[in-house]
Chains A and B, each alone.
Chain A
Amino acid sequence: MRAPGGPEVAAGEVLLSVENVSLSFGGVKAVSDVSFDIRKGEIRAIIGPNGAGKTSMLNIINGFYRPQQGRITFKGEARAKMRPHEAATGGIARTFQNVALFRGMTALDNIMAGRTLKMHSNFFWQLLRYGPAMQEEVEHRRSVEEIIDFLKIQEIRRVPVGRLPYGLQKRVELGRALAMEPELLLLDEPMAGMNLEEKEDMSRFVLDANDYYGTTIALIEHDMGVVMDLSDRVVVLDHGIKIADGTPDEVKRNQAVIDAYLGVAH
């Protein structure tokens, strides 16, 4: 599964890096001079107390916010600001803290929407819903069904997402992001509000996506157990500043991290 365009990045090499990135809103500094990288194929966790700037960091990576300083390098290309459309075509997909599903549509349609970038049949065939347009719908439906099987959400295909329970909504949102066949998947608190069983399911999906699809993952998460189990490397933010960066073991022993966030050595 490869995203279109851009040079190929080998496993283990840096896929995306942010360098000296700073972002402020009015007088509030959300992110101060943060630098870290994400290597291809890894699961990278971004953790920290509330207000640390984690979501702002994700927003910068996929282009919703423009940092006042710093650069973002993605697949070898450096730029001062990412544009949402560039992020999408470059292969970055994302889920949101507050589940940004298209509430007027069914689960199936939401995930099909994720395939939009890959659908090219022109307007004329769309008017007739025949020939190339229909072939495309069927072909992409096949891929979407694979994802539906993977996430085990077959029964709720035709349910309008507004009616789904929270846990299932998050799963559908993950499905929609996976439908883009992303190289880099940004997950913003994918386990928030879930019970233990749902968390285990979700962790399984995240790991499988990384394993099976080879997707690089950056996730924001508060549950330390999940972070320690899932991630290859962790970066810790506090009040917009990076205070630690390393493997889960290194980070959980780091005194600054314990003081700011963990409280007690985990």
Chain B
Amino acid sequence: MGLLYQIFIDPFVQMATAPDLFVQTLWEGLVGGMLYALIALGFVLIFKASGVFNFAQGIMVVFAALTLVGLYDAGLPAFVALGLTIVVMFLLAFTVERAVLRPLVNQPDIILFMATFGITYFLIGFGEFVFGGDPKVMVTDGLFLPKGAITYKALGGIVQLQKLDIVAAITATIMVAVLGVFFSKTRIGRALRAVADSHSAALSVGISLEQIWVIVWFAAGLVALVTGIFWGARSDVSFALEVIALKALPVLILGGFTSIPGAIVGGLIIGVGEKLGEFYWGPLVGGGTDAWFAYVIALVFLLFRPQGLFGETIIERV
């Protein structure tokens, strides 16, 4: 009886009696979720345009952040470092297209997926080789990112919102909006969607697959850079970030693999679910549930709706 109370009643009582804590936790969940969403966004971009599930997205986040910090630490002014990092991400996209995507162009998707494992390994080694393996501090002042928090007295207590988080949220929203418009309104965006549907059909109307892929990997690289900046600013740049990228998978399950709004909604749900779960239910089992809670959420979801919230229903034709 006591156990049932602890699981089903008590957490909600806690939420109700300390609403400021609840809102605080909720906010932190939203911020975390938003960062997951950004990583998922990178996946969606590449998947939408090439059908490739880019396992290397996580390491691209780390790599972008490392490059930025590395250049800044070497003495370059922040915005110059930023500009150079963007160039580096472009070069990366170009190299990946040339060295990996082009030779594998007609292979089944699973082969391409495995190739992204190879890219991941390579970037881990390369990143560690060039920048060293210890955690680094993200550039904040140079990029005019704010420090400190805004404190509200509300709901009987205190709610603190980190200014950085607010800026991150705004930036992410703008980026998603821009990408959304880009995909639906511009010529290149249309071409990207055509390529996602069918490579051969796109080729037959004269769309250059190679150019599209470079563009899309570059876009994903930019998303990775923004993600890396904000994530690194919240908690150091290190290779542990790479495993966090795996959390994007549950996000994609929820949101569908090809939907930009889906990635956002999915990310927020996972972020909030994970945070609330750990804060209110975690203590019952010794904590640390955020290591696996997201996956269990995704799993339960899959059992009821295998295509996610926004994905297309899979129809198998015989």
Contact = CB atoms under 8 A, between A and B. Distances in A.
Contacts of B315: 25
A59 B315 CA distance: 14
A188 to B, nearest CB: 9
A55 B318 CA distance: 9
Chain B binding surface, main DSSP class: loop
Interface residues of B, number: 2
A64 B317 CA distance: 10
Interface string B295-318: 000000000000000000001001
Interface residues on A, range: under 10
A166 interface: no
A23 B315 CA distance: 15
A96 interface: yes
A59 B318 CA distance: 8
A55 B315 CA distance: 15
B312 to A, nearest CB: 13
Interface in A4-59: 25, 55, 59
Contacts of B318: 55, 59, 64, 96, 100
A25 B318 CA distance: 14
Nearest to A188: B318
Nearest to A65: B318
Interface string A57-87: 0010000100000000000000000000000
Interface in A103-149: none
A239 to B, nearest CB: 19
B84 to A, nearest CB: 48
Nearest to B313: A26
Nearest to A100: B318
B313 to A, nearest CB: 10
B108 to A, nearest CB: 11
A100 B316 CA distance: 13
Nearest to A59: B318
Nearest to A62: B318
A55 B317 CA distance: 10
Nearest to A55: B318
A64 B315 CA distance: 12
Contacts of A64: 318
B317 to A, nearest CB: 9
Nearest to A58: B318
B287 to A, nearest CB: 42
A63 to B, nearest CB: 11
Nearest to B315: A25
Nearest to B316: A64
Interface of A: 25, 55, 59, 64, 96, 100
6 tightest A-B CB contacts, nearest first: A64-B318, A59-B318, A96-B318, A55-B318, A100-B318, A25-B315
Interface of B: 315, 318
6 contacts: A25-B315, A55-B318, A59-B318, A64-B318, A96-B318, A100-B318
